[in-house]
Amino acid sequence: MANILIVDDSRTSRKVLRKMIEDAGHTVVEECSNGEEGYLKYKELKPDLVTMDITMPKLDGLEALQLIIKSDEDAKVIMITAASQKEKMIQAIKYGASEFIAKPYDSEDVKQAINKVLKLQNT
């Protein structure tokens, strides 16, 4: 089971994600509400995995992703994306995102994305 950092500026989204992550048997180590905080907390807590929203104040999800990968090339970051963000998804792949969860998502989507990334990590 994994230690997971949630980065999302929406309090409601964080709450929903936390519930889904915990129901899947994982631990949420921290919740951050912008990319800058997410990056700093990543360095401090070194979670196994990050769920990263894209549209956020201060640093957005793509900028935070780049900083995290720069500080730890093995970082596992799952981007939370909307259908309208195809261009940003392509950028995120280039920057080293491990996986995507498309909005609107359900608990099964979240569980599967996490399992996929954790399996990759174990091989």
Binding site for Mg ion (CB under 5 A): 9, 53, 55
118 alpha-carbon distance from chain centroid: 13
Whose Cβ is closer to Mg ion: residue 91's or residue 115's?
91
Whose Cβ is closer to Mg ion: residue 88's or residue 118's?
88
Q: How far is the CB of 93 from Mg ion (least distance, A)?
A: 19
Q: How far is residue 85's CA from residue 100's CA, in Å, rounded to a whole number?
A: 11
Q: How far is the CB of 13 from Mg ion (least distance, A)?
A: 7
Whose Cβ is closer to Mg ion: residue 9's or residue 36's?
9
Q: How far is the CB of 34 from Mg ion (least distance, A)?
A: 9
Whose Cβ is closer to Mg ion: residue 81's or residue 98's?
81
Torsion region of 98: left, alpha or beta (phi above 0 gives left; psi -120 to 50 gives alpha): alpha
Q: How far is the CB of 50 from Mg ion (least distance, A)?
A: 14
Helices 61-71, 86-95: inter-axial angle, 10-degree rounding: 10
Cis before 104 (ω within 30):
yes
